[in-house]
Structure 1
Amino acid sequence: ALVRALQTWEHYLIPKEFVIHSDHESLKYLRGQGKLNKRHATWVEFLEQFPYVIKYKKGKNNVVASALSRRHTLLISLGSQILGFDHIKELYSNDLEFNEYYTQCLAKPQGGFYISEGYLYKEGRICIPQGSIRKLLIKESHEGGLMGHFGVEKTLRFLKEKFFWLHMRRDVERFCSRCIACLQVKSKVMPHDSYSPLPVANSPWVDISMDFILGLPKTQRGMDSIFLIVDRFSKMAHFIPCHKIDGASNIARLFFKEVVRLHGLPKTIVSDRDTKFLSHFWKTLWSRLGTKLLFYTTCHPQTDGQVEVVNRSLSIMLRAIFKGNHKSWDEYLPHIEFAYNRVVHKTTKISPTEVVYGFNPLTPLDLIPLPDSSHYFHKEGVSRDEFVKKLHKKVKTHIQQQNERTALERSKGKKDLIF
């Protein structure tokens, strides 16, 4: 603050001696410092050109500075404000895609299109005219804010939650195909083994899978591995940084801290028989809690294919987001975890967060002051319990259907090994 003040009023202060009154008492000893880092040394060098004297003044007596720092007009409100979409109202009449719909809807709604407060909607989603704003929205849905460089389908579904324009898929495909980060880290990996799905779970965080990603670059905090936990029903995942040498007791501590705290205890756990899970302490701990350990079927490491898929997705997102900053990848895990749990899952057709909590958390796109379109929807008044039950029933059906499709695809032209 002192350096900033002198830089601002430098032209008045250099010619004459002046007194600095501050409630920061340690400034009195500024010139007597023996050891300074590079930044402080630069500041002291700048200050030495001024003929100043520093005098300490208690904060309660420094009423002038206190009053200036608390001026109502200077207070900054920490809030989220993103420029709205007011300007797009003027674009509809000249837009090649929406001009006809907009003109017709001025009289009455047509084919799912309607006008509200000057905005054109398609079944509750605001229509976006041609222009740079489309690319901005795609970029935000793909890599911006809290997203994770997902593919075309997930980016498209996230975008369709609030927006509509013709040929949206084509635009998303074009953007994703040109994303440098995605091109550098993504590759198609086809499974070469058979598929034996586990029984479908009935509710969130009752049946879970665990795995580890080992051998990562060591971060500044000493982390070199990731403890991966996936709920087999909702597909929600937690990514916990850890050490490769962590024993069963440390892993159990992380599990209680990051999972049990939020979701309670699971009934079954699918593990890969890692030494961390097979240790005597781990077995004893979970046997006391009545947890049943399920292990991979012999010669069928794909039995827990779900966690392997999450493992690959996490690896891709890590490479795409931290962009070579190997010393801080653990700081990006909360971002990646949020992104993974927020987007719609291919199997359930719903985001993991919505399956668990019944709603989606806000993202930067949700903070855009969009006009209210809630009047378009006429939902039946149902209790939260009924809503959750219907949601979970739908999820279970989708999982069963996906398991059948996957088993059929994997079985084509493949033979199981016989031992």
Structure 2
Amino acid sequence: MSLQSRQLKAAERNYPVHDNELLAMKYALVKFRVHLLGSRPFVIYTDHASLRTATNSPRLSQRMTRWLSFFAEYNFRVEYKPGKLNVLADALSRRPDYELAHITRVTTDLYDRIRMAYRNDESLASLVRFLTAVKEAKSEWLSPRQRSRLHRYDWQDGLLYYRVEPHEPPRVVVPNDEDLKFDILQEAHDAPSSGHLGREKTFLSVSQVFC
């Protein structure tokens, strides 16, 4: 038995309830991918009845379309289980000793600079345009490589994320700006919490967050 959870990011708090339920399902599939991908058919139990028919909706958002592309990699079915019957999951999720003891957040202007720099990166600008298009996006905006890996990208709070491996956390995509890349490395090295790591360890640390 394993229990997984995380806090919603700022942009995710604005998602409709239905999308947040699907996000939870996607998160679980990513976390347990090594056990589920290529395995025998499995069942996902949910107390949100509409998830059973989510894939059949005639009107899907771009975010939903990307998620369905990801879900297609797995062999599963969704079964509805009312909350009053799902007492085990509720008990685990409500244990007080699982509360997060401490949260550390580092605030810099680097993320704002990354957001601005997307506009000047021709390759990423077209991808950002596709992911943020209000009207119907056009696949010809993307390169063949971007189209083949579209399900690995996500756009949240003005930042482009990419999942290098399906089971790993997403990383912030850094535009092709040498000054910006240098400053990211410099700040990672000089941050009080970094312990002034050497060059290789600093790069490894940064590569876990950025790509």
What is the TM-score with the length of structure 1 in the denominator? 0.18
Structure with bigger helix share is 2
What is the TM-score with the length of structure 2 in the denominator? 0.35
> Which structure would you say has the larger Rg?
1
